[in-house]
């Protein structure tokens, strides 16, 4: 930026930029250019920003419907006609149903909000949809009976001849009773269509019920299957592992290791530590790994004397895993592939010198194992087995060498730390 400013000043100097008389004047050339540039920038900014302003977008889409859904049409009808029973204004009042659009948006936000249980939120939505459908169909069917010329030949008049004299609660309960029995296809037969209008509405309501019932059953099935699929998958996996061990006549301890590993995987599936980290950008993954594991890796004897940047690179390349009790992490004479650091839990190391002579050791949180085979390029001399639920950091051998190879001094420090411990 400094060089650009210097070049700009030099350019003005070479062109004999002067405020007095000359080939380039302040008021004739520079100010008009600046004014045109500023004006063009303002117009361009207004042209780009205004179409995406949410206020204008709302005014051109949902504002009209929201405004119509709030108009007091009954009051307006009473003001013009002296009563609020005009059919036209009642039909306009149906625009208030547009508010259901906002109710649907509310449930969509609640379903995405992790503070609320998804299962119960979804069930509440389905229950509300059912109640609304029952209420609307019952009220509409009652309106048909109320406006029919012969009240005796209606679905409610045939059962309650003087139904208009009953209170509102009795009529509403009767309408809802008809609606819910029709929705559930129970049809007791005590309330049924008596004229052509009611028959046509009954046909339309039945067709609507086909779609509504399919929607409700499909959603409830998905909720139930989603809740039980985890247990079913667990049982199927356990059964498959048991059949595999029995078919191949594996030893009992190998079968137990297989089953314990599967059980731990399903128990810790809710943690999803590595899966969660893999789905994040590298910068966020590095920050999380530094916060969780940097203090542990920094205290490992093998990395004493390393710089902050080098340890940070190592931490960001490590993967955390959980191991159940009595599971083999490393087998003796296994090819060296990874270096391991214990975060929590404990492991035991077994070293067989002779068939009847074994050396045992115990490693706890903050200690490292597998480094001998990795750094000396030899088979692993120990068998490492967990004694309890253990979280272990795993670092690939190739990745370790690629990071250390950047500095010969760091490679010397690693080997020096290794020799100091085993001397």
pLDDT in tens, the chain (423 residues): 434 444 443 443 444 334 344 444 444 444 444 444 444 444 444 444 445 566 667 676 777 777 777 777 677 766 776 655 666 666 666 777 777 777 888 888 888 887 888 889 999 999 999 999 999 999 999 989 988 988 888 999 888 888 888 888 999 999 999 999 999 888 788 888 899 999 999 999 999 999 999 999 999 998 888 877 777 888 888 899 899 988 988 888 888 888 888 887 777 765 556 677 777 888 888 898 889 899 999 999 988 888 888 889 999 999 888 888 888 899 888 889 999 999 999 999 887 665 555 667 889 999 999 988 888 888 888 889 999 889 999 999 999 988 888 877 877 888 888 888 776
pLDDT value, residue 23: 42
pLDDT of 179 reads 93
Q: How far apart are CA 197 and CA 148, in angstroms?
A: 9
Alpha-carbon distance of 144 to 197, in angstroms, equals 7
- CB-based burial label for 110 (10 Å; 0-12, 13-18, 19+): middle
What's the pLDDT score for residue 214? 93
Within 8 A by CB and 6+ apart from 317, the residues are 395, 396, 399, 403
Q: What is the pLDDT of residue 10?
A: 42
CB neighbour list of residue 158: distance below 8 Å, 6 or more residues apart: 152, 194
Tokens of 296: 């542990």
Please identify which residue in the block is written with the tokens 């995405």. Answer: 112
From CA 370, how far away is CA 396, in angstroms rounded? 11
Question: How many CB atoms are closer than 10 A to CB 130?
Answer: 16
Q: List for the chain the helix, strand, coil content (%; round to 5).
A: 65, 10, 25
Phi, psi of 40 (to 5 degrees): -65, -40
Helix 397-404 with 408-422: angle, nearest 10 deg: 120
Report the SS3 class of residue 348.
strand
Residue 419, classified by CB atoms within 10 Å of its CB into exposed (0-12), middle (13-18) or buried (19+), is exposed
Under 8 Å CB-to-CB from 248, ≥6 apart: which residues? none
Distance (Å, whole) CA 254 – CA 326: 10
Query: How confident is the model at residue 55, as a pLDDT?
Result: 63
Please say whether the beta carbons of 260 and 268 come within 8 A.
no
At 223, give phi and psi (nearest 5°).
-65, -45
Q: Looking at residue 81, what is its pLDDT?
A: 67
Kindly tell me the number of DSSP H helices and DSSP E strands found in the chain.
17, 8
Residue 309, pLDDT score: 87
Residue with tokens 């939120």: 121
Parallel, antiparallel or unpaired: strands 390-396 and 319-323: antiparallel
Backbone φ and ψ of 184, nearest 5°: -85, 5
Neighbour count for residue 400 (Cβ, 10 Å):
20
Q: What is the pLDDT of residue 130?
A: 94
């Amino acid at each position: 930026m400094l060089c650009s400013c210097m070049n700009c000043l030099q350019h003005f100097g070479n062109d004999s930029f002067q405020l007095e008389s000359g080939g380039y004047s302040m008021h004739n050339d520079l100010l008009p250019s600046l004014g045109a540039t500023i004006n063009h920038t303002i117009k361009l900014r207004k042209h780009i920003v205004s179409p995406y302003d949410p206020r204008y977008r709302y005014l051109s889409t949902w504002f009209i419907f929201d405004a119509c859904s709030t108009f007091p049409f009954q009051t307006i009808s009473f003001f013009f006609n002296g009563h609020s029973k005009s059919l036209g204004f009642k039909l306009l009042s149906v625009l208030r149903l547009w508010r259901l659009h906002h109710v649907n948006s509310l449930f969509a936000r609640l379903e995405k909000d992790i503070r609320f249980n998804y299962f119960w939120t979804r069930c509440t939505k389905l229950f509300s949809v059912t109640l609304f459908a029952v209420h609307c169909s019952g009220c509409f069917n009652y309106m048909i009976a109320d406006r029919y010329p012969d009240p005796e030949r209606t679905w409610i008049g045939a059962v309650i001849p003087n139904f208009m004299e009953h209170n509102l609660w009795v009529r509403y309960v009767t309408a809802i009773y008809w609606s819910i029995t029709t929705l559930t296809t129970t049809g007791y037969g005590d309330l049924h269509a008596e004229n052509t209008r009611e028959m046509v509405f009954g046909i339309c309501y039945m067709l609507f019920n086909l779609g509504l019932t399919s929607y409700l059953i499909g959603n409830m099935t998905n909720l139930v299957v989603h809740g039980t699929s985890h247990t079913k998958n667990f049982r199927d996996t356990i059964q498959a592992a048991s059949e595999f061990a029995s078919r191949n006549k594996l030893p009992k301890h190998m079968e137990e290791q297989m089953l314990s590993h599967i059980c731990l995987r399903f128990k810790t599936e809710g943690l999803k530590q590595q899966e969660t980290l893999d789905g994040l950008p590298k910068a966020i993954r590095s920050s999380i790994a530094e916060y969780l594991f940097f203090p542990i890796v920094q205290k490992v004897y093998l990395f004493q004397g390393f710089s902050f940047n080098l340890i940070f690179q190592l931490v960001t390349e490590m993967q955390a895993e959980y191991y159940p009790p009595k599971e083999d992490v490393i087998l003796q004479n296994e090819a060296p592939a990874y270096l391991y650091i214990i975060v929590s839990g404990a492991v035991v190391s077994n070293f067989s010198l002779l068939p009847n002579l074994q050396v045992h050791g115990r490693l706890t949180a903050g200690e490292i194992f597998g480094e001998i085979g990795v750094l000396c390029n030899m088979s692993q001399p120990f068998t490492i087995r967990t004694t309890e639920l253990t979280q272990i950091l795993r670092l690939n051998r190739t990745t370790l060498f690629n990071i250390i190879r950047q500095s010969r001094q760091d490679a010397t420090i690693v080997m020096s730390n290794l020799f100091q411990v085993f001397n």
